[in-house]
Amino acid sequence: MSRTLDERELTGRTRTHVVQFSEPRFAVQPEVGKAFLAMRADARRAGIDLLPYSSFRDFHAQLRIWNGKFSGKKPLYDIDGRPRDFGSLSPSEIIDCILNWSALPGGSRHQWGTEIDVVDGATMPEGYVVKLLPEEVTSDGVFARLHGWLDDNAYGYGFFRPYKVYKGGMYPEPWHLSYGALSMPAMRQVTPELLTEVVRRSSILGKELILERIQCVYQNHILNISLPVEQW
């Protein structure tokens, strides 16, 4: 049964709202997991091995991603998946680049237990390293068949793509599925004030610059999504 997330759950500082599934391994809210496994069974009949690549991600995991990118230890990409020149970017531009592909810690949808990044195990060559970049979802990409199937079937299980098209915030991520019945209420719970509180208490790099633009992050990277009604 769905319920309202508390502030620690909403910001990924606890995982009391999610359960761990083992076959395949992923963590989401129970209702989301049930819907995903039903969709996975249907996909299997179409020859697709629908696998969760990333599901629940707590605050600290999101923080490691952010700090790795802000420090230059992890790559930054443009909208086409090409690496950016880290050394040529100002701190403010680095934040822009991070936010195009990765959520602000405390503001990630993956914290809600409603999101799953997916791949197709049936089409991955042995030893393939998943990139989650545009090249994988083009008409000749390794996951092209998967995404054609999701276009026709994901909505039937309650999933939509919040980053289906670029709307000035996150770059398109067709592999990112969201369970609308629970993610839409969670999104409405997030506030600029909550994001501010969490960022202030964290060890995030670029903190002062982030705090200056919390309202912008809230509008462009939390609320600014492709809505379920635009896809179902």
Question: How far apart are alpha carbons 224 and 170 in whole angstroms?
Answer: 8
Residue 7 pLDDT level (bands cut at 50, 70, 90): very high
For the chain, the residue count is 232
For residue 125, name the pLDDT band (cuts at 50, 70, 90).
very high
**Does residue 2 have a pLDDT over 80?**
no
pLDDT digits (tens, 9 = 90+) for 24-72: 999 999 999 999 999 999 999 999 999 999 999 999 999 999 999 999 9
Mean per-residue pLDDT, 147-160: 98
Q: What is the pLDDT of residue 69?
A: 98
Q: How many CA atoms lie within 13 A of 72 on its CB side?
A: 8
Q: Which CATH number fits domain 7-230: 3.50.50.60, 3.30.1380.10, 3.40.50.700, 3.40.605.10?
A: 3.30.1380.10
DSSP output for 101-152: HSPPTTS-GGGGT-EEEEEETTSPPTT-----SGGGTSTTSTTHHHHHHHHH
Q: How confident is the model at residue 231 (pLDDT cuts 50, 70, 90)?
A: confident
Looking at residue 3, its pLDDT comes to 74
Residue type at 156?
G
How would residue 17 be classed by pLDDT, with cut points 50, 70 and 90? very high
pLDDT in tens, 80-91: 999 999 999 999
What's at 196, amino acid-wise?
T
Its pTM stands at: 0.97
Average pLDDT in the chain = 97
Asked whether residue 1 carries a pLDDT value surpassing 60, the answer given is no
**Which 3 state secondary structure label does DSSP give 26?**
strand
